[in-house]
Amino acid sequence: MTLDDNNVILPVISFDIIYKKPAHYDELITIKTTIKELPKVRFNFEFEIRNEQNTLLSKAKSTVVFANSKSRLPVSTPSFVAHKLIREFENITA
């Protein structure tokens, strides 16, 4: 099951980034994405971008909203997404 199958899109409604140090051409980076709470209608992500030396290059926060792809109106988190996230949160706290 996919978001498309359910006529759901995830438009970005905000994105904030703090640049600490530059990444360089051909440098390998790691992007760690964290979800700290289960979404309802909005879905918040936090990002940390680090280089191979584990130096923090930037931090970011993004908010997306679940919306109906036809009406563009906000909708609740699809149940298949919520169930998957609940299982992941349970694994983290177990």
* pLDDT tens track for 66-85: 999 999 999 999 998 988 88
How big, in percent rounded to 5, are the helix, strand and coil portions of the chain? 20, 40, 40
Is pLDDT above 80 for 94?
no
Average pLDDT rounded to a whole number, residues 26-30: 96
Tokens 């440098």 correspond to 27
Query: What percent of the chain stands above pLDDT 70?
Result: 97
Whose CA is closest to 62, among 23, 22, 11?
A: 11
Query: Given a cut of 90, is residue 21 above it in pLDDT?
Result: yes
CA distance 9 to 73: 10
